[in-house]
Amino acid sequence: MKFVQYYLDCLSHASYLIGDDTTGRAVVVDPQRDISEYLSDAAEAGLSIELVIETHFHADFLSGHLELAAATGAEIVYSSVAETEFAHRGVDDGEVLSLGDVTLEFRHTPGHTPESMSIVVRERPDADPYGVLTGDTLFIGDVGRPDLLSSIGFTRDELADKLFDSLHNKLMTLPDATRVYPAHGAGSACGKNLSTERSSTIGEQKATNYALRAPDRETFMALVTEGQPPAPGYFVFDAILNRKERPLLDESEPPTPLTLDAARAAMADGAMLIDGRTPEDFARGHLLGAVNVGLEGRYAEFAGSVVPSDVDIILFVEPGYELEAKNRLARIGFDRVIGCIDDPYGTMTANPEQTARASRLTPEEFNTRHSELDQLQVVDVRNPGETADGTIPGAICIPVGQLPARSSELSAGVPTVVYCAGGYRSSVAASVLRQRGFGDVSDVLGGYGAWQATTQSA
């Protein structure tokens, strides 16, 4: 058996290639949208990708099932209860598929979504399970959240009830030595306590996973429905789009270079300018109206949190990163990239009246400003799980992904300081407020941790 886990750090997303060397037959499970790595690895191993298997309708990324099917002729596989606009094969609970010696057993495990399923992998039909691909049903250290809006028509409690049964009747019945391979790891908004580990075993999860250690159904349901992080705004968009026919991604085609005049004309019609540089470089100088979402961080996730899914997008990136920025947005289905600023630094140099600096305060500078200004508006853009451990006194708590919808709760004419945990999200949030007409906006270097350390040492 050939078994490969692919891990995409910026989306905390795991996908898998499983092949049988005796027959050359292979499948890909939960693929990302840019598929070149699967194709090259399969070709190098002498494998033919015959099936593209989805454990459920993903909400946090746009899956590559259509791209892989078009490139290989593979059949797309979902649970038999899933409904799609495109042709696919539905597999029943308990159905077994043979690749040769390697077999795949499908177990319906609803709870995270109604159509969720897991895949038990055996190296031979009569062998104990090698592992189980659990999708978003069981994570390392957590279980899939049952409250996402992608599960339209089902309540949070209905899905939590189904999730309890799926875990205890379908997954925990596997031998303790069975390896657990989930679709996501730490950082994903599909759960609240995901581990940085990328695999585990059923036995380890029985012993350590807080949700599996719940003594009864009621306790379990209470545990898994409370304290979940806010879902990024693009989740519902992707959950719906993953069911649909849609254009295919050409991951080799770079975005079109745009002059500043062309970009400004598009922005006047509603396009948004995303600056993918670091917060530090953005602060030194950027084009007016730009929103800063750095490529070095969770670029697609935060772009999808603050940029609507129905607007055109213009990119400003370091030269050479244009294609990466376009493809990373395509991973969440944000395909409306109409171009990138040509010669970005030359453009800013030639048009100084259309550029600005961004104010970033050290914790000491923030404390001074806080004590001198009675009207200072302080905004904490961390998630509720983070703010529960403490905030700067008087701060208004609005998670960064909710800021576009809730900016009216703030006063645009009042000096504003934004902070997060380290400085990445606060730069995103501060640029969103400036783009929305807030005149005096700063963020705090080092975030809450740096402020807390400064305050404690004072």
Q: Provide block-wise average pLDDT over 10 residues at a time, the chain (458 residues).
A: 97 97 98 98 98 96 98 98 97 98 98 96 97 98 83 81 97 98 90 90 97 96 86 91 97 98 98 98 98 96 96 98 98 98 98 98 96 94 91 96 96 97 97 97 97 83
Q: Rg of the chain over CA atoms, in angstroms?
A: 24
Q: Where does 317-411 have alpha helices with state H?
A: 322-330, 344-350, 363-372, 384-387, 403-406
Same domain for 261 and 234: no
Please give the single-letter amino acid code of residue 38: Y
Same domain for 341 and 303: yes
Q: pLDDT at position 227, please? A: 77
Q: pLDDT at position 340, please? A: 98
Same domain for 320 and 266: yes
- Please check whether residue 399 is in contact with residue 433, taking contact to mean a CB–CB distance below 8 angstroms: no
Q: How far apart are the first and last CA of the chain?
A: 60
Domain that holds residue 384: 359-457
Check which CATH number belongs to the domain holding 133 and give it: 3.60.15.10
- How far lies 403's CA from each of 60, 314, 418, in Å? 19, 21, 11
CA atoms of 408 and 358, how far apart (whole Å): 22
Paired tokens of 333: 């289905």
End position of a domain, from candidates 323, 356, 389: 356
Please give the single-letter amino acid code of residue 4: V
Q: From 95, 207, 191, select the one nearest 145 (Cα to Cα).
A: 191
In the set 10, 340, 397, 420, the catalytic residue is: 420
Please tell me what DSSP assigns to residue 53.
E
CA atoms of 458 and 452, how far apart (whole Å): 10
Any domain includes 247: no
Paired tokens of 123: 């190296």
Any domain includes 248: no
Paired tokens of 236: 């519902």
Burial classification of residue 239, based on how many CB atoms lie within 10 Å of its CB (0-12 exposed, 13-18 middle, 19 or more buried): buried
Please tell me what DSSP assigns to residue 184.
B
Give residues with Cβ within 8 angstroms of 261, minimum separation 6.
none
- How far lies 345's CA from each of 342, 415, 432, in Å? 9, 29, 22
Coil, helix or strand for 52?
A: strand
- Please check whether residue 419 is in contact with residue 447, taking contact to mean a CB–CB distance below 8 angstroms: yes
Strands (E), 109-227: 117-122, 131-135, 179-182, 200-201
Same domain for 136 and 37: yes
Coil, helix or strand for 117?
A: strand
Same domain for 291 and 168: no
Any domain includes 157: yes
397 counts as catalytic: no
State CA 51 to chain mean position distance. Answer: 24
Q: pLDDT at position 17, please? A: 98
CA atoms of 148 and 145, how far apart (whole Å): 7
- Please check whether residue 393 is in contact with residue 368, taking contact to mean a CB–CB distance below 8 angstroms: no
- Please check whether residue 443 is in contact with residue 426, taking contact to mean a CB–CB distance below 8 angstroms: yes
Q: pLDDT at position 256, please? A: 98
Check which CATH number belongs to the domain holding 399 and give it: 3.40.250.10
- How far lies 372's CA from each of 109, 327, 447, in Å? 57, 46, 20
Same domain for 193 and 314: no
Q: pLDDT at position 385, please? A: 85
Domain total in the chain: 3
End position of a domain, from candidates 211, 241, 271: 241
pTM above 0.75, yes or no: yes
